[in-house]
Structure 1
Amino acid sequence: RARRPARGRYDFELAVVNNSGAPVRDFRVLLTFARRNLRGERAGITERGLFWEGALAPGRAVKWHVEAPGTEVKIEPGVTGMLDGETGVASPDAFFQLTRARYRVVRIHAAMMLAWLRDPRARDALLSLLPAASGEEEKLERIRRATADVIPCSVAVKEGRLRACLFNGGVAPQRGVTLREVAAGEGGAPRAWPIAATLPVHEGVEVTLPLEGSAAPEELEVVPQGR
């Protein structure tokens, strides 16, 4: 006997942050809620339109409380795209102000942007979010890796070789570090590459290493000596 599909209901806070360096005017968000019928088709569709009138300044956030029936939701913001050179990025000070926001999800986003901008305040912002709540562990761990003194950048795989630039943003040269894969494939151990070169302060060192397998690593981290 077929069971009646669950109807469900959403009740949550939605936040939008302007990451760019330019104001966003008259911002709109469309949310489409639905459930699935016995044939797996979308049914009971409900739409909620959200609107912020005026200018949303760089690094500022706006929040809405949303309620609607359904078991799935699609969120379509009125502005999409990647940060680029035309508008730039909001200032680190603006994101630091968001670390005091009421909503935890906004504080997590602020820590992420500070880490992306290599702002030293990102570490304190991350510490203020610990311990991680359920479902946050992976995101906070990625922020932690982004705040490390030494990070990999410009990673590429070409002709069976792994190429990367290791940037040392710390206050002392780094020796004996290891470039390590963050997540290995199913059933495999993370690949690791010891680095013989010394990494000077505030400089990047390019390395070319054997790939050790055909698959390119999805994410890498630099592990200091002794860890």
Structure 2
Amino acid sequence: MAHSRQAAVSGLMFTYPAHQAADILFCKANLVPVGQDQLPHLELTRTIARRFNDRYGTVFPQPDALLSNAPLLLGTDGTKMSKSRGNSIALAATADETARLLKGAKTDSERHIAYDPIARPEVASLLLLAALCQQQESGQQTPPERVAAEIGAAGAAALKKTVTESVNEYLAPIRARRAEYAKDRAQLHQILRTGNERAIDIANATLAQVRTAMKGAY
């Protein structure tokens, strides 16, 4: 409530984990791409699946987490990244907006840049962000330690410049494609309708299995 600057929140704040579990289980997902902070939610989903299967017969797989090379990225203010906190970089942001956001990113007082997630989490998170957006000639992700070594004693300003250039270069083709889609709202709505219809078909099939399994238990 404090970070979203709202006077109150609805009951959905408390029931959200169950809704999230339903989003995963209706399509019988076996792998779920999540960040480290979402692991407790996924464990709750696994618990729900396990309890249902034990009671009514196996219907749901117990989904595993699919963590990326960056299971945890801090927001630009050094705290948990969140849209409500205004510390994340939106795909819809322009290159200039991204630059302004990263210019105000939290670092520390040490001039020499080094990748140390424990002692220097804010700097390490920015280095990891740059590394994720960079790619070596071999096609592999650039190690954050290499990004740090290239910056060296140039300080926080050079770090932010590197991160800004890396992020904007990486997002440029994505933003361009997004802009093209945004020109045709009818096409966007049709894509959403098609996806929604497909999801409903899958959900109805799963729900039918659930009802059959529960009836057979009595």
TM-score (norm 2): 0.27
TM-score (norm 1): 0.26
Name the one with the larger strand percent.
Answer: 1
Query: Larger relative contact order (C-alpha < 8 A, sep ≥ 6)?
Result: 2
Name the one with the larger helix percent.
Answer: 2
